[in-house]
Structure 1
């Protein structure tokens, strides 16, 4: 589990580095009406991590022991297949500050790590819950999934930054 924890920490650092240097206004601005703002992407990542953490806790308490084959979760980063976020992890339309969202992300990560630290790897391997694309996934696969999911959204954020840059170049503003 040490490798998985290092992985999700590294991806989170990359995520925060990607948005560093932008103002709250820039991060909340939508470059297209049908796309999330960068801040909404960050809020979504917080909601996903909290949802997964709460579900892991619930399954550890009440879930049945099952045998689950590993899933190819590394394909999560492939953005050629659009996946609609369930409503319970849809981001807010409210204006958010980066400082506030960083705090939320820190709290969701702390909650996840507490669950991992209090649970044996065996328990994480023998229980699971379904993913909308991959089907039934063991709890231990949900942890690196968070990292792959964030990597997927880092690519989305980079696309939004590039799109905004193109819009500014086309309009002649800096």
Structure 2
């Protein structure tokens, strides 16, 4: 089952994104900082990567036990902690329309939900997959982590919008 916060945060993201002008969405508030569109693209890349890894983890017949200690993954919300995104999850610096971004994010969420709903609830609670920072998370915890990650980036998008509003 998808964590309820994960569903709510995505709705909050759409409410936020739908209220922003597309040009503003693609504008940098500072050099070397992502645009709002890039943050949305990052969310798509992240959800797609997590879904692919979860799919492989579920397919393992004899999953290897976790080799990492666990850390509270709710620290994701702490915006004072910053970890650069892996290269594969860094969005390109190009103009994107809201429709393009919505299409990608809607599809990535559909694939994520389809996968989670196909997994035995016992496996969701008992099988783990390592997070590079937080250590082993159950597959069910991953459904919450995605929402926390998106919530963190929603705050980032609000900060970008506030910075841009100073220039307009």
What's the TM-score, normalizing by structure 1? 0.88
In the TM superposition, what is the alpha-carbon distance from 1:58 to its structure 2 partner? 0.3
In the TM superposition, what is the alpha-carbon distance from 1:69 to its structure 2 partner? 8.3
1:164 and 1:91 mapped to 2: Cα distance? 20
1:46 and 1:58 mapped to 2: Cα distance? 19
- For structure 1, which segment, 60-69 or 43-52, has the greater mean C-alpha deviation from structure 2 after superposition? 60-69
**Corresponding residue for 1:64?**
63
**Corresponding residue for 1:104?**
104
In the TM superposition, what is the alpha-carbon distance from 1:74 to its structure 2 partner? 1.9
In the alignment, is residue 17 of structure 1 matched against residue 15 of structure 2?
Answer: yes
2:89 and 2:119 mapped to 1: Cα distance? 25
**Corresponding residue for 1:171?**
none
**Corresponding residue for 2:130?**
130
In the TM superposition, what is the alpha-carbon distance from 1:25 to its structure 2 partner? 1.4
1:70 and 1:44 mapped to 2: Cα distance? 25
**Corresponding residue for 1:53?**
51
**Corresponding residue for 1:145?**
145
Structure 1 residue ranges, 4+ long, deviating more than 6 angstroms after superposition: 67-70
1:163 and 1:89 mapped to 2: Cα distance? 24
**Corresponding residue for 1:158?**
158
Contact kept? 2:24, 2:164, Cα under 8 Å: no
Q: Greater relative contact order (Cα 8 A, min sep 6): structure 1 or 2?
A: 2
Contact kept? 1:71, 1:137, Cα under 8 Å: no
In the TM superposition, what is the alpha-carbon distance from 1:126 to its structure 2 partner? 2.4
SS at match of 1:152: helix
In the TM superposition, what is the alpha-carbon distance from 1:20 to its structure 2 partner? 1.6
Gaps of 5+ in 1: 169-174
Deviations 1:62-115 (A, max 9, x none): 261648987522221110011100011111112110011001000000001100
Gaps of 5+ in 2: none
SS at match of 2:143: helix
Q: Give the direction of change, closer, same or farther, for the CA distance of 1:108–1:30 in structure 2 (3 Å limit).
A: same
1:70 and 1:82 mapped to 2: Cα distance? 18
What's the TM-score, normalizing by structure 2? 0.91
CA RMSD of aligned residues (A): 1.8
